[in-house]
C-alpha cells in the first residue's frame, strides 16, 4: 500500500507580493550598510555619481563573497531593494531581511520576485540584483535572463557594479573579511538598452538586452580590476 507524499510547501520567494515589501525598510538598513562599509570595514566607493538620483534604476553587480549584498546596499547613494535568495529568510535573522525591505527569490522559480521588483521600478525605486545568480569568481562569465527581463519590463537603466576584495583568492565563498579590511565598490556608467522591436519581436529584444548587460557588466568588472589593482578570486 502506497502513501501519498505531502505537497511541498512553496518558498517565501515563490509567494512574495509587492505589498509584502516594506518601502521604508531601506531608510534604516542603508545606514547599517554604511556602518559596515566605513566603520566595520574600510570601503572605497568609486563612481557613485553614476547612479541616477531619481527614477527607476537597476543595480547589477558581480558576486564573489557573502558580504557583497550588505556592502553594496550601504554604498548605493539611494535606498535600494535587493533581490536575495530566500534561504536568508529561513535563518534566525530572517525577519531583519523583511524589515529591511529586501525581496526574497526562490531561485527555482523567480517569476513572483521579478514581478515585485518590476513594481518597485514602476514606483521609481532602486532594485539590486546579482545577475550571475551565485557567488563565484566574479568575472561574469554568464548572466541569467531575469536581469534583462527586469530592465526591459521595468523600463530602467542598468548600472553595472564591481564588488572587489570581499573574497581574496583561495578563500571559500562563505569567507567574511576581518574588521577594517580594504574593500572596493566601483559603479559604472548606466547601460541604456536598445529595446527597439525588430523582426524577431519580443524574444529578440530580450536576447539583445541580455547580451548588452552581460557584455557591459563583464567589461566593467575587468576595467574595475585594472583601476583598483584588486584581483578577482581564482574560482
- Give the least confident one: 71-80, 89-98, 136-145, 209-218: 136-145
> Going by C-beta distance under 8 Å and a sequence separation of 6 or more, which residues neighbour residue 90?
none
Long-range contacts of 94-98 (CB under 8 A, 24+ apart): 98/20, 98/22, 98/25
Specify the DSSP element, H or E, that contains 126.
strand 126-129
Q: Is the pLDDT of residue 110 over 60?
A: yes
* Residue 171 confidence (pLDDT): 87
Using alpha carbons only, give the angle 147, 136, 97 rounded to the nearest 5 degrees: 60
* Alpha-carbon span 126 to 54, nearest angstrom: 9
Alpha-carbon separation of residue 66 from 55, 165, 169 (angstroms): 29, 12, 14
Instruction: Residue count of the chain, please give it.
Output: 235
What's the grid cell of residue 55?
Answer: 527614477
Specify the residue for cell string 548572466: 143
Q: Is the pLDDT of residue 138 over 80?
A: no
| DSSP tag of 163 | E
* Residue 199 confidence (pLDDT): 66
* Alpha-carbon span 190 to 96, nearest angstrom: 30
Question: Which candidate, 46, 15, 29, 25, places its Cα nearest to that of 165?
Answer: 46
Q: What is the pLDDT of residues 208-218, one digit of tens each?
A: 889 999 999 99
* Residue 4 confidence (pLDDT): 36
Q: What is the CATH superfamily name and number for domain 18-228?
A: Glycerol-3-phosphate (1)-acyltransferase (3.40.1130.10)
* Residue 191 β-bridge partners: 158
Amino acid at each position: 500500500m502506497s502513501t501519498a507524499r505531502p505537497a511541498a510547501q512553496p518558498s517565501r520567494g515563490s509567494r512574495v507580493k509587492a505589498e509584502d515589501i516594506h518601502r521604508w525598510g531601506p531608510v534604516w538598513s542603508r545606514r547599517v550598510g554604511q556602518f559596515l562599509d566605513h566603520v566595520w570595514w574600510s570601503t572605497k566607493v568609486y563612481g557613485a555619481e553614476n547612479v541616477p538620483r531619481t527614477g527607476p534604476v537597476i543595480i547589477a553587480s558581480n558576486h564573489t563573497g557573502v558580504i557583497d549584498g550588505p556592502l553594496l546596499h550601504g554604498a548605493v547613494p539611494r535606498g535600494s531593494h535587493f533581490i536575495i535568495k530566500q534561504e536568508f529568510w529561513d535563518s534566525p535573522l530572517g525577519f531583519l531581511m523583511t524589515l529591511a525591505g529586501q525581496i526574497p527569490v526562490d531561485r527555482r522559480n523567480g517569476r513572483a520576485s521579478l514581478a515585485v521588483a518590476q513594481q518597485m521600478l514602476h514606483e521609481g525605486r532602486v532594485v539590486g540584483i546579482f545577475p550571475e545568480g551565485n557567488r563565484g569568481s566574479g568575472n561574469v562569465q554568464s548572466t541569467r535572463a531575469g536581469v534583462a527581463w527586469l530592465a526591459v519590463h521595468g523600463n530602467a537603466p542598468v548600472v553595472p557594479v564591481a564588488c572587489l576584495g570581499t573574497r581574496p583568492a583561495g578563500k571559500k565563498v562563505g569567507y567574511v573579511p576581518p574588521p577594517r579590511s580594504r574593500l572596493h565598490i566601483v559603479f559604472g556608467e548606466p547601460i541604456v538598452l536598445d529595446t527597439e522591436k525588430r523582426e524577431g519581436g519580443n524574444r529578440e529584444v530580450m536576447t539583445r538586452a541580455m547580451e548588452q548587460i552581460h557584455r557591459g557588466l563583464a567589461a566593467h568588472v575587468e576595467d574595475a580590476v585594472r583601476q583598483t589593482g584588486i584581483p578577482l578570486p581564482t574560482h
